[in-house]
Amino acid sequence: MTLIKTILAFALTIFALVFLLIIGLPAFILSFLGLRKPMSWAIYLAARSWARLLIALTGCTLKVEGKENIPSGGGICFVSNHVGVFDVVLALAHIGRPFGFIAKKELLYIPMLNFWIHILGGLFIDRKNIRKALKTINLGIERIRKGGNMIIFPEGTRSKGRGLLPFRSGAMKLATQSLAPIVPIAISGSYEVFEKNYLVQAAAVRMVFCPPIIIADMSSDDRRLHLVNQVRETIEGALNREQSAGIRDSGKSGPIPSR
């Protein structure tokens, strides 16, 4: 059954890539004719449908909390820990609005996937070239200032079940320079859905949208010196609460599988 789900998941993903390519090309053209916002929503809704179907196909037990913490309007910077590749699927399924993200430059050279990332609002960053990296970050800042949304993974790489990793320096520039509210996201269990043994399997997955951090009300010193730690501690607190709840539940109903 696990092998069958893996094959079906890959087939669904390939179909989605082709479908998004088909609708993405005309949408990309129409976006230059004054229809950028509706085209962005059309592409996002198609991607969200794929994400929700994929989550259902995996059979994972997904618990989503705190969606009421997402501001109803204006540009938002979502900041999430990065457990595995499934995190992007969760974000597409549950953020509830179009958003962009920063992708490593190497993905630019993967056919179809590069276009998929682009039409979803992704920006490719060259971490080895500071000048080009800053240009990419500035594009993201400008997008948020115009009312768009971005998600960043400040650990810089997938933790793959190793716990919350240190945040990279400069990870919050999208938020601090756009002065957008930050919505921290805590994700757990997503690594086990696929990457643990590279077969799709059911797992207990949790996604928590924490209360927003309004950085426009913070002093420049607080943003520069304390914001990264504040966001990290918020995400870490949400992850620790889930772990504590799991320990309590295990005491009531027997041992739970190790993660």
Residues 218-244: tens digit of each pLDDT: 988 888 888 999 999 999 999 998 666
For the residues 176-198, what does the mean pLDDT come to? 92
In the CATH hierarchy, which fold is given to the domain comprising 59-253?
A: Glycerol-3-phosphate (1)-acyltransferase (3.40.1130)
d(CA 154, CA 165): 9
What does the pLDDT read at residue 26?
78
User: What are the distances in angstroms from CA 24 to CA 41, 108, 112, 121?
Assistant: 12, 17, 11, 11
What is the chain's mean pLDDT, rounded?
A: 86
What does the pLDDT read at residue 243?
67
Band the pLDDT of 106: cuts 50, 70, 90: confident
Please tell me whether residue 195 adopts helix, strand or coil conformation: coil
Per-domain residue ranges of the chain? 59-253
Flag whether pLDDT at 162 surpasses 60.
Answer: yes
Flag whether pLDDT at 95 surpasses 70.
Answer: yes
Query: 139-164 b/e with 16+ CB inside 10 Å = b?
Result: ebbebbeeebbbbbbbbeebbeeeeb
For the residues 36-42, what does the mean pLDDT come to? 80
Tell me which of 254 and 7 has the higher pLDDT: 7
Burial class (CB in 10 A: 0-12, 13-18, 19+), 18: exposed
What does the pLDDT read at residue 244?
66
Dihedral over Cα of 138, 36, 88, 211: its sign: positive
CA 84 to chain centroid, in Å, comes to: 10
What does the pLDDT read at residue 232?
94
CA 196 to chain centroid, in Å, comes to: 19
* Span 64-75, pLDDT tens digits: 999 999 998 889
Phi, psi of 150 (to 5 degrees): -135, 150
d(CA 224, CA 171): 11
Please name which of 50, 87, 65, 110 lies closest in space to residue 194, comparing C-alpha atoms: 87
